[in-house]
Amino acid sequence: MLKHLFFICLLSTSLWQCSNSSDDACRYGKPKPIFSDEMAGVVSHSFLQEGQEGNEQIRLQSGLEVEIYQTGCDAIKQEFRFTLQDLPPTQPDAFWISAAAACFIELSTLEADPIIFSQYAQAIQQYAPNFILGEQAELATGFYMMIDGIKMGGEGLLRVVFQSTKE
């Protein structure tokens, strides 16, 4: 199981694509987009990068909206914000954790990096009983994940954060 998590950690750095810019002092380089508007299933896409921060927004044909924040130089952080529609009035913690896995499974159907997104979904499903909403969980040495859900009217904001440092 530890080997599986180590593999996830190594794959996660593939989402943080290094660039050949003047940021040679940074271990991971500047953030680059994960998705593009040319991918099947992507209805709209935008990416803004400033220094060591990137903000990517996509909307899928299914209606799922995702915003991805990438920050870091030697320590990275990726925050996925999923907007969920038509939610019932209340949701238990298990709902948000299950929704996180489902969102990454949906992302794995795109052309971006299906292996890493399916690995994220598997890790969430495997560790679901141990997750506490809003709290970091160390999945492997130096690799942390946090899941949180916020209900806003009939919508919900699902946050999934991966990072290499503990907050």
Return the pLDDT at 148: 96
Q: What is the pTM of this model?
A: 0.85
Return the domain boundaries, the chain.
2-163
pLDDT (0 to 100) of residue 24: 58
Tens place of pLDDT per residue across the chain (167 aa): 444 444 444 445 444 444 434 455 777 788 889 999 999 999 999 999 998 999 999 999 999 999 999 998 878 899 999 999 988 878 899 999 999 999 999 999 997 777 889 999 999 999 899 899 999 999 888 889 999 999 888 899 999 999 998 88
| pLDDT of 5 | 47
Contact indicator for 69, 78 with CB cutoff of 8 Å:
yes
Compute the Cα dihedral for 111, 53, 67, 163 and give only its sign.
positive
Q: What is the DSSP string of 22-77?
A: S-TTSSS-S---S--TTSTTEEEEEEEEETTEEEEEEEETTS-EEEEEEEESSSEE
